[in-house]
A and B are shown apart, each in its own frame.
Chain A
């Protein structure tokens, strides 16, 4: 009786997962006349290769440092190194990702795939902001909902409402809310502040695009985790609260010594679930920004899809998928470790 499930899960989950590993070592494309070849670690190297280069400022014939019109030192162009310079063979094809000033010298961080590196950093940023913020807000909402008040179920239903709305719908709706010219948010802020707050191009500026997506994502999903916190809250025995009340403990003390210890496993679960969902960030990007402006909202999954599907580069997309899987697996093992400790 378990046969249909076992075969379906094998074919559509286990095999693709194994395939992802296999494909990441080949040059497979979706439709290609050329036979597929084994290429070893080539795909990983293409994605992950980084290199530091320290350059001394340029000097004129007399040995004086050259200065541009802004009074800054001039450095040799990186292209002269990365385009087949025999002294810097390892830099061939790499591009500048970042640079820092070190005294007179400038330290350049070169990446073979700058866009992917930005995608990794953006995804990590998204995860590190969303996980604590969404988890924390969800807990606050759960505590608010966990009071005995008339009509509290209505509020619970309302807080949860955006969860059942597709993130694709939410993203398109919020494009109008965030719109630079006619957006609801700009207009409301302008009206409420009597025109003091200037209009912001929320999604069109690389300073605010990711933050805007973060705010919207939290708005959509926070109710989900509120419900998980709530079910955790309800497992805490009422006698503990009664005991705390008899001892005359303050609200904060009750939370600190009764509620919070009882929520330990729920906390781990909520954080892990949010983290895993956050790493999969895709639909918001696809609908709202397509990774822009200036790659400020590129993400790991968006890159995997753009390559694997958009450019039909199955092996490149699979390699990114494998990297994502390794990250997620690491996090879940960490969760196991955290929850086992006390059991």
Chain B
């Protein structure tokens, strides 16, 4: 090993930090630009792109663009729809997929291994390849409500929720986690006469905090950022989520301030949530790395 002079080492350290910081700026600047632009009137916003002022909250700063965005489109409704659809789907997905994983890991039933193989095989089916036939199916599915039997799921909440409750990745994450739980705990509970469902509720789930967090984060990101599917199945404003609500702002010519305000509005809460739970977010992505 070469012994480096202390000054030399300090210099190297400095270079490392400079490199890391420059790279970090590449990732941060576009997002800073988005937020700063959302606070400026259109004219200033565009002239500011000529200098570093683009990344600074200088000049005529106000929340005017945000108010304008709310006037242009039912932004509050879109946010509610997204939060509602995402929240319900995450909860149902955790419940349904963890139950399935429990049954795959701890129960013995005929065809279990085949079924698990099929579910894991669905991991390689990109949603894009089934979107079109799924659109046809969704347009024909029946639904029983107070108004009697109706046909067609288009323009509803359920069409955005139900198809996404069960997915191979969530089942896979729970299966991996359950496999490592101590078997003795479950056997002891069986001896004491606990039912399988009680074991699931009282023993297994309380021990599954980490995997629940992982699965919830991944599902949350996937659902909140959904675009293709709601674009196809929701034409009515009433059920539209935030990403499709963006279309109101596509057509705007040069009203960039308003566009940036809407983008910041739907992105900043997620970013804040991410920065707060940063370790859990990154751990959840890392855990998909063992897939396959």
Judge whether A144 and B130 touch: CB under 8 Å.
no
Judge whether B168 and A9 touch: CB under 8 Å.
yes
* Count of residues in B whose CB is under 8 Å from the partner chain: 92
Judge whether A269 and B292 touch: CB under 8 Å.
yes
Judge whether A30 and B31 touch: CB under 8 Å.
no
A332 within 8 A of B: yes
Q: Which residue of A lies closest to B270 (CB)?
A: A164
Q: Which residues of A contact B213 (CB under 8 A)?
A: none
Judge whether B227 and A283 touch: CB under 8 Å.
yes
Judge whether A5 and B227 touch: CB under 8 Å.
no
Q: Which residue of A lies closest to B130 (CB)?
A: A16
Judge whether B1 and A325 touch: CB under 8 Å.
no
Judge whether A13 and B282 touch: CB under 8 Å.
no
Judge whether A162 and B1 touch: CB under 8 Å.
no
B34 within 8 A of A: yes
Q: Which residues of A contact B37 (CB under 8 A)?
A: 176
Judge whether A169 and B46 touch: CB under 8 Å.
no
Judge whether B16 and A227 touch: CB under 8 Å.
no
B75 within 8 A of A: no
Judge whether A305 and B163 touch: CB under 8 Å.
no
Judge whether A305 and B232 touch: CB under 8 Å.
yes
Judge whether A173 and B30 touch: CB under 8 Å.
yes
* B interface residues with partner A (beta carbon < 8 Å): 1, 13, 16-17, 19-20, 23-24, 26-28, 30-31, 33-34, 37, 46, 49-51, 54, 96-97, 99-100, 102-104, 107, 112, 115, 118-119, 122, 124-137, 139, 162-168, 171, 196-197, 200, 221, 224-225, 227-228, 231-232, 243, 246, 249-250, 254, 256, 259-260, 263, 266-267, 270-271, 274-275, 278, 281-282, 285-286, 288-292
10 nearest A-B pairs in the assembled complex, by CB-CB distance:
A5-B100, A308-B132, A8-B166, A317-B132, A19-B133, A166-B225, A16-B130, A231-B286, A1-B103, A12-B163
* A interface residues with partner B (beta carbon < 8 Å): 1-2, 4-6, 8-9, 11-17, 19-20, 23, 28, 30, 141, 144, 147, 149, 152-153, 155-170, 172-174, 176-177, 182-184, 187-188, 190-191, 219, 223-224, 227-228, 230-232, 245, 248, 266, 269, 272, 276, 279-280, 282-283, 286-287, 301, 304-305, 308-309, 314, 317-318, 320-322, 324-325, 328-329, 332, 335, 339
